[in-house]
Amino acid sequence: MAGGMTMSQGKLLVVEELHKSFGSLEVIKGVSFDMDCKERLVVMGPSGSGKSTLVRCINWIEPPSAGRVTFDGKLVESGKYDIRRLREDIGMVFQQFNVFPHLTALQNVALGPLVVKKTARKAAEAEAMELLAKVGLSHRADYKPGQMSGGEQQRVAIARALAMHPKLMLFDEPTSSIDVELIHEVLDVMVRLAGEGMAMIVVTHEMGFAKEVADRVIFMDQGLIIESGTPSEVFEHPQQERTQSFLSKVLLA
């Protein structure tokens, strides 16, 4: 793509013609989009549309099969822009939390800086304490994940990702595994984070969150972006039939 270099000027993230296959199954069939610093993107789509895989490709948790990813002006390529550096700069929050069960909340949050950035223990733990306060969990610092609710575990996971001072946060269905009455705890933290100017890509079906926070909504189906625009454009005037039928199902649910 000739315009690749100019496209990436000033952009936080540029994804070009991304493909991902598992064996003979192609899950992402050529996806391109870009985002500015501080931009908030919500990705929606039916299950199997490839939205989770797309997010997991951005930090190489799933290495893309083809295509280009440029992050912060640097082309991500195995070998060139070190994948590990990329992951330090991109925080990730998982559907299943994936907090470390053998560590306390505080240790969970401090581990990344301690191990990866070689931060001194005192400094790492002091900052971990601040981050736990930020997600409303100061009182759970010495609890292990097994003693916490899903909502609390997910907030620990958010604090753990923030401890690396990422430039972008990826949220892969962050509230799908959480009891309905606790979802707001997690969404509140995410809304506050967005308010502070954190760039984020959020895979979610939470329409309320998307309307409140998203600069742009991307709608995916069968491995392709079929529609994108502001929340009001996509939710109120969907152009594609598949978007309309999906939205009607989500709204009914």
Partner 1 sequence: MIKWSIIFDNLPFLVAGAWTTLALTVVSMIFATVAGLLVGLMNMFGGKVIGAITRVYIEAIRGTPALLLILIVYYALPTIGLNLPRFPAAVVSLAVCYAAYIAEVFRAAVESIPKGQSEAAFSLGMNRAQALRHVILPQTFRRVLPPLANEFAALIKDTSLVSVIAMQDLLFNAKIIGARTANFLSPLIGAALIYLIMTTPVMQWSRNLEKKVE
Q: Give the interface with partner 1 as residue ranges (CB under 8 A).
A: 59, 61, 84-85, 87-88, 90-92, 94, 96, 98-102, 111-112, 115-116, 157, 160-161, 164
Whether the CB-CB separation of 140 and 61 falls below 8 Å is answered with no
Whether the CB-CB separation of 226 and 220 falls below 8 Å is answered with yes
Alpha-carbon distance of 176 to 35, in angstroms, equals 25
Least separation, in Å, of the C-beta of 191 and partner 1?
22
Q: Which is nearer to partner 1, 200 or 225 (CB)?
A: 200
Q: Which is nearer to partner 1, 118 or 122 (CB)?
A: 118
Least separation, in Å, of the C-beta of 19 and partner 1?
21
Both structure tokens of 217:
């909504």
Alpha-carbon distance of 175 to 156, in angstroms, equals 13
Least separation, in Å, of the C-beta of 214 and partner 1?
22
Least separation, in Å, of the C-beta of 229 and partner 1?
29
Q: Which is nearer to partner 1, 31 or 92 (CB)?
A: 92
Q: Which is nearer to partner 1, 91 or 151 (CB)?
A: 91
The count of other CB atoms within 10 Å of the CB of residue 128 is 28
Taken in order 220, 72, 167, 63, the sign of the CA dihedral is positive
